[in-house]
Amino acid sequence: MSKFSSFAEYPPRSLANAEAGLLTAWASLDRFHADLVLVGGLAVKYLTKPGVGLLPGPVTIDVDLGVSFAAAGEGQYGSMADDLIGQGFKLEKGRYVRQFENTPVFIDFLTEHPSRTSGTVGVDDVPAGIFPGVTRALATRREIMIEGRDLFGAPQKAPIPVSGIGPLLVLKLNAFAGRQQPKDAYDVLLCVSRYLGGPDSAIAAFQSEATADNRGFALAMETLRTHFCQSDQSGPLRCAAFALDGQPPTDDRHARERQIIEQLVTIGRALSEKPLPTAEPPP
């Protein structure tokens, strides 16, 4: 298991440990950097600004890497699987995991298959879950300088490509469609409400995926309308539970719950609106 039902269940250093796992893996995957992009909970961290208020902030114990379906290394130098095993990660139940400070750190791979929309496929000897939209995450990636210590305690600094916010929202919504995990709904709210470029920019970037040949966009829109546009739907209810369950009891718990629900409903409706056509420039 790598997702908990509430923020409070995550170990205090889980996010920092996941970042250390990313820096550890990245240092050994040099030959594959052009075929990789960061998605998932760590991408949420790097695309959002810190804040206080209703939401405690990003959290994860996973490193989710989108990988090009065509990625392959030069055989004489080994594969991605060899590189990860050499860094102490072990393949368990289709995922790479390494224990660190009594906490597991997972590395998962996602890819987009030319004809399939689900399941798992091998990419350069690593198992990768099939998620439509990964190709757009690769196409929109931008490098963010990440600095810290890896799982060995060594300092590392690297420009790591992170998915654009539009494709990341598509992937998050499609993940929710498949399992209705509270954390995926929470990440959608965090991605939009605290996006570095502002909520309107995040919404516009998501809507632009409608015309960007994102094969995951149709399901993302269906998920919004089915699960995120009413206060009694699964997305807002699960999001509020993730943020507040396990926290010390307070007199305003109900009010905070309603605020989170209403905020995500507002965002869900805004995301699911059809974007206005771009006006033609004057002659």
In this predicted model, what pLDDT tens digit does every residue of 67-99 receive, in sequence order?
998 876 555 467 899 999 999 999 999 899 999
Q: Is the pLDDT of residue 14 over 70?
A: yes
276 CB neighbour count, 10 Å cutoff: 8
CB 264 within 8 A of CB 185: yes
Rounded to the nearest 10 degrees, the angle between the axes of helix 165-179 and helix 217-227 is 60
Quote the pLDDT of residue 77.
Answer: 60
pLDDT in tens, 136-157: 999 999 999 999 999 999 999 9
Could you report the per-residue pLDDT of 169-184, keeping only the tens digit for each?
A: 999 999 999 899 999 9
What's the whole-model pTM score?
0.92
pLDDT at 53 over 90: no
What number of other Cβ atoms are within 10 A of residue 242's Cβ? 28
Longest dimension (CA), the chain: 64
Average pLDDT over residues 125-129: 91
> What local confidence, expressed as pLDDT, does residue 54 receive?
79
Q: What is residue 264's predicted lDDT score, i.e. its pLDDT?
A: 98
Q: Give the C-alpha distances (Å, rounded to integers) separating 60 from 37, 141, 218, 246.
A: 17, 20, 27, 17
φ, ψ at 155 (rounded to 5°) = -70, 135
Distance CA 183, CA 57 (A): 11
Domain boundaries, the chain: 7-272
Selected residue with higher pLDDT from 89 and 274:
89
pLDDT in tens, 182-203: 999 999 999 999 999 999 999 9
Q: Could you give the CA distance from residue 155 to residue 151 in angstroms, rounded to a whole number?
A: 10
Label the pairing between strands 142-149 and 95-100.
unpaired
CA distance 2 to 8: 14
